Chain A
Amino acid sequence: AQSVSQHNHHVILSEAASLELGCNYSYGGTVNLFWYVQYPGQHLQLLLKYFSGDPLVKGIKGFEAEFIKSKFSFNLRKPSVQWSDTAEYFCAVNARSGGYQKVTFGIGTKLQVIP
């Protein structure tokens, strides 16, 4: 079965610091990869996605992620975080399982940005 590991469960950064959140998945076949963000008190929304092509994908609000197939990784990055980036970030993998395409989420990383 597919699984997703997020290495950092709680990250605290000062504004303007650089961010990298790790995500690894276990699945040997073709995958679609996602990062979702949940701002305080809100529902999850898509931050960025990778389906195929250029392994470096850019999302909203200056976020980007790089798919490294050999490492089964899809790390999220932002060069300079802002206070408004305080949120919980979820990595997710979509793959075929039991004849169906299913999305599996990591446990999430809470990011706190200090002004």
Chain B
Amino acid sequence: DADVTQTPRNRITKTGKRIMLECSQTKGHDRMYWYRQDPGLGLRLIYYSFDVKDINKGEISDGYSVSRQAQAKFSLSLESAIPNQTALYFCATTPGGGAPGANVLTFGAGSRLTVL
């Protein structure tokens, strides 16, 4: 089984619909992240969470919300999807702390979202 699992892997939806992307991890990491990948723009951070009670906005949080249901689960929601949210979304984790490797990201396989 993958260390970081994302569901769904692919989703096509219509403008205005609510969408939830889910992420679960078996790494035991405290820190979880949602990134969005667009061609020519690289990866941009949407939200990040350093523990269950600590959630922070990233560079491009407008139009998105998140929920950290447990240490292992971090979901991303689009309350009312719009076409420019069409992208590849990645969940990632890091162990955190001060040791070397604390900030090495482990990525999920990605969720490709198309908003028509």
> Which residues in A have some Cβ–Cβ distance to B below 8 Å?
6, 9, 32, 34, 36, 42-46, 49, 51-52, 90, 92, 94, 100-108
Contact of A44 among B40, B45, B101, B107 (CB under 8 A): B107
Q: Give Cα A35 to B45, complex, Å.
A: 17
> Which residues in B have some Cβ–Cβ distance to A below 8 Å?
33, 35, 40-45, 48, 50, 56, 90, 92, 94, 96, 100-105, 107-110
A69 to chain B, nearest CB (A): 18
Contact of B42 among A42, A52, A107 (CB under 8 A): A107
Please tell me if the beta carbons of B48 and A108 are within 8 angstroms of each other in the complex: no
A33 to chain B, nearest CB (A): 10
Given the interface pairs A32-B103, A49-B104, A51-B100, the reply to whether A42 lies near B109 with Cβ below 8 Å is: yes
B61 to chain A, nearest CB (A): 13
10 sample A-B contacts, Cβ–Cβ < 8 Å, listed by A number: A34-B104, A43-B108, A43-B109, A45-B107, A46-B104, A90-B42, A101-B102, A103-B45, A105-B35, A107-B40
